[in-house]
Amino acid sequence: MSERVLLNLGPQHPSTHGVLRLVVELEGERVVNVTPVIGYLHRGFEKIAENRRYIQITPLTDKLDYVSSMANNMAYVKAVEELLGLEVPERAEYIRVIVLELQRIASHLLALGSIGNDLGMPFTLMMYTFRERETILDLFESLSGARLGYNYITIGGVMDDLPLGFTDFTLSFLRELRQKIEEYEDLVYDNEIFVKRTEGIGVLSPKDAINLGATGPVLRGSGVRRDIRKEDPYSIYHYFDWRIVTGKRGDCLSRISVWINEMKMSADIVEQAIENIPPGLFRAKVSRVVRPPEGEVYSRIESPRGELGFHIIGDGSTHPYRLKIRSPAFCNLSILPHLAKGVFIADLIAILGTLDPVFGEVDR
């Protein structure tokens, strides 16, 4: 029986994906207990939102999950639209789906790149994935003028129509991406070290995944075929032909395989959307002062990280009475203490990487 050691990781630590502090109890090299300490990036978002108008809140949501701002915009805007009872033009919904799925690809590329860093093979994977992510950021820049924090999806539709040449450029990019994804697969599955470091590590059983509130790739990595885009359909996802991607074993490698396969699925959705996009308005007529009626709504979307929900209580004024964000990264991170019992400390970092927390969203 060796002596137990308390180890403090973070909050400033390269492999914790942001400002996460972990207090780890070690027995030799084995982890006995992990206590995540969060809140270093807490900005009191829910309180700020109570003192802002509905339109002024959209740019705030960009800073929640800063690597997938489009999804946050969409989740918030969808909740407000449900509260208003607003119908969005079809063209706007198509544009939304295109940018949301491109955002999902960009977010998964970032996650896939940084898992390489966590496993101690810095930059090889990240260099390649960031090459493709850069193109998506360029595309978003042509849409909204920004590379992070787009504020593109607004109440009633989107900010602006697609610029000239956007669709052609996107299609050629997606063709290229398909080949690149094959390269990533070679880089991940054919790399003996990568597979040995992730296969069978941090296994989450389907029953536990549901009971612990996992959503998104973490849940699907455990083989549970659940996705809000299919289950509680929103926008126009039911127009397209696609299927939910799942992993088989619930370990780190199957969560990574879910990212890779979901990128292919997203590319399919974008291609179908671009093929069928109708002409028309890109934004419904909304009055300058948004004043939803009294009421309550809880609406959710499938963000790249899982179930992102906004609960808005309106009291008939221009400010929300209460706004609550159900962030997927917060819930997925709460699984870490259950997953990390009895693993090696190096594997703890790998498990954390596959849970893919973004601290803008965890701390809000």
89 and 283 Cβ atoms separated by less than 8 Å: yes
Residue 360 touches other proteins, criterion: CB under 8 A: no
What track of x and - describes contact with other proteins for positions 328 through 347 (by CB under 8 A)?
Answer: --xx--x---x---------
Specify the DSSP class assigned to residue 113. H
3-class secondary-structure state, position 98? helix
Nearer to other proteins, 56 or 151 (CB): 56
Task: Give least dist CB 257 to other proteins, A.
Answer: 22
**Which residue bears the tokens 């009291």?**
315
- Would the CA dihedral through 339, 307, 148, 58 be positive or negative? negative
96 contacts 158 by C-beta, under 8 angstroms: yes
Structure tokens at 281: 């308005």
* Closer Cβ to other proteins, 50 or 160, answer by number: 50
47 binds other proteins (CB under 8 A): yes
| Residue 270 or 340 having the CB closest to other proteins | 340
Which of 25, 27, 46, 268 touches other proteins (CB under 8 A)? Answer: 46
Least separation, in Å, of the C-beta of 64 and other proteins?
Answer: 14
Give 295's strand partners. 314
Q: Give whichever of 2 and 51 is closer to other proteins, judged by the CB atom.
A: 51
> What is the DSSP secondary-structure string of 49-92?
HHTS-HHHHHHHHTTTSTT-HHHHHHHHHHHHHHHHTPPPPHHH
Interface with other proteins, residue 247, by CB under 8 A: no
Measured CA to CA, the distance from residue 90 to residue 93 in angstroms comes to: 5
Closest CA to 338 of 96, 34, 93, 84: 34
d(CA 215, CA 303): 10
Amino acid present at 211: N
Q: Is 238 in the site for other proteins (CB under 8 A)?
A: no
Give yes or no for residue 44 binding other proteins (CB under 8 A).
yes
220 binds other proteins (CB under 8 A): no
Q: Which is nearer to other proteins, 42 or 178 (CB)?
A: 42
Query: Least distance from C-beta 184 to other proteins, angstroms?
Result: 31
Q: Measuring CA to CA, which residue among 123, 16, 124 is closest to residue 345? A: 16
Instruction: Report if residue 27 touches other proteins, rule: CB under 8 A.
Output: no
Asked whether position 313 contacts other proteins by CB under 8 A, the answer is: yes
Nearest distance in Å: CB 364, other proteins: 7
The token pair that represents 251 in the structure block: 């370990």
Q: Least distance from C-beta 107 to other proteins, angstroms? A: 21
Regarding 307 and contact with other proteins (CB under 8 A), the answer is yes
* β-sheet with 30-37: strand ranges across: 4-9, 21-27, 30-37
Secondary-structure breakdown of the chain: helix, strand, coil percentages, each rounded to the nearest 5 = 50, 15, 35
Asked if 11 is part of the footprint of other proteins (rule: CB under 8 A), the reply reads no
- Residue 236 as a binder of other proteins (CB under 8 A): the answer is no
Site string for other proteins, 77-96 (x = CB under 8 A): -------xx-----------
Instruction: Please identify which residue in 213, 235, 239, 242 interacts with other proteins, judged by CB under 8 A.
Output: 213
190 neighbors 125 (Cβ within 8 angstroms): no
Tell me how far apart the alpha carbons of residues 271 and 173 are, in angstroms, rounded to a whole number. Answer: 11
Least spacing, CB of residue 225 vs other proteins, in Å: 10
210: helix, strand or coil: helix
The binding track of 172-211 with respect to other proteins, each residue x by CB under 8 A or -, is --------------------------------------xx
Contact positions toward other proteins, by CB under 8 A? 38-39, 42, 44, 46-47, 51, 84-85, 210-213, 215, 224, 226, 231-232, 287-289, 291, 293, 296, 298, 300, 307, 309, 311, 313, 322, 324, 326, 330-331, 334, 338, 363-364
